[in-house]
Amino acid sequence: MARRKRDLYSTIEYIGPRPQKPKRSSNFGGWFIVVIALGIAAWFGRPLMPLLKAAMVPASNEQASLQILELNQSSAPSDQLAAAALAYATQDVNYQTSYQTIDYPMGDVAASNGGAADLVVRCLRKQGIDLQKEIHEDMVRDFRRYPQLWSATAPDANIDHRRVPNLHAFLERHATSLTPQRVPSHFKPGDLVVWSLVNGESHIGIAVPGPAGSLKDVWVVHHLGGKPKWENVLLDYPIIGHYRFPNSSK
């Protein structure tokens, strides 16, 4: 009897749901959110990539001088144009594209001011080519073949050559046009490159060797705000034009 009483009190019946082992929490949802956030940041951060790349790999004036010396050993107009572009990249030119009344031909705004188009115009003048005159005369002959973007009713030698869309149209008509490709080795020093920026505006620059002089790593000289730059940004924007001017079989 005592044993039965002991068994009665030692056995306790549990009524309720069966105990469950705690489940391991899954991190999949958290990682998925992180991946999506990184993707969005990368997409919207694309306009900053040229600035970030330039900051990571700065090019010095000494490196530019070495490339200029090497390019000047060639008599090819394209190499001479690339040398002029590299020399321009070392100059203290403020980004300024406002309308100004200038002389014609060979007119120019103050040397301390300019934009992307001015860079190309000034470098080609080193080769004896005055795009102010060339573009003005071409627009006089066929004004409607040029972009009608500024409510202009006639050519204006003060500003037409300082507008990138006009340079683009002129090059389409008179330069050797190559199919735009996102392959650096397809470009040669002195090639003119036209891009479409993220804001829809067009931009122009000149292809040049990188600091190491390798054509596998083609850089550009361009002027997009601030001062002119020698940068590894050839493929940072969609390329909408690739030209050799003056015409060259190189």
Residue 240: give its domain's CATH number: 3.90.1720.10
Residue-range definition of the domain harbouring residue 161: 59-244
Residues 78 and 90 in one domain: yes
Residues 36 and 154 in one domain: no
| 23 in any annotated domain | no
Q: Which residues pair with 94 in a beta bridge?
A: 113
Last residue within a domain, chosen from 57, 77, 107: 57
Indicate the number of domains in the chain: 2
Residues 50 and 94 in one domain: no
| 250 in any annotated domain | no
Task: Give the residue, 4 or 171, on which the prediction is more confident.
Answer: 171
pLDDT recorded at residue 57: 54
Among 29-33, 34-38, 153-157, top mean pLDDT goes to 153-157
pLDDT at residue 44 above 60? Answer: no
Residues 89 and 131 in one domain: yes
Q: Which residues contact 133 (CB under 8 A, 6 or more apart)?
A: 104, 105, 106
Residues 49 and 128 in one domain: no
Q: List, for residues 160-179, the tens digit of each pLDDT value.
A: 999 999 999 999 999 999 99
Give the max Cα distance, the chain: 126
Yes or no: say if 240 and 202 are a contact pair by the CB < 8 Å rule: yes
pLDDT recorded at residue 38: 61
Residues 94 and 75 in one domain: yes
pLDDT recorded at residue 56: 46
pLDDT recorded at residue 97: 97
Residues 46 and 150 in one domain: no
Residues 38 and 157 in one domain: no
| 193 in any annotated domain | yes
| 237 in any annotated domain | yes
Taking the whole predicted model, whether its pTM rises above 0.85 is answered as no
| Range with the poorest average pLDDT among 4-13, 71-80, 173-182 | 4-13
List Cβ<8 Å contacts ≥24 apart for 106-109. Answer: 106/130, 106/132, 106/133, 107/132, 107/157, 107/158, 109/162
Yes or no: say if 102 and 159 are a contact pair by the CB < 8 Å rule: no
Q: List, for residues 122-131, the tens digit of each pLDDT value.
A: 999 999 999 9
| 17 in any annotated domain | no
Residues 177 and 192 in one domain: yes
Residues 53 and 107 in one domain: no
Q: Helix, strand or coil for residue 120? A: helix
Residues 32 and 99 in one domain: no
Residues 45 and 98 in one domain: no
pLDDT at residue 19 above 60? Answer: no
| 100 in any annotated domain | yes
Looking at residues 184-195, what average pLDDT do you find? 96
Last residue within a domain, chosen from 57, 75, 103: 57
pLDDT at residue 112 above 90? Answer: yes
Looking at residues 140-151, what average pLDDT do you find? 97
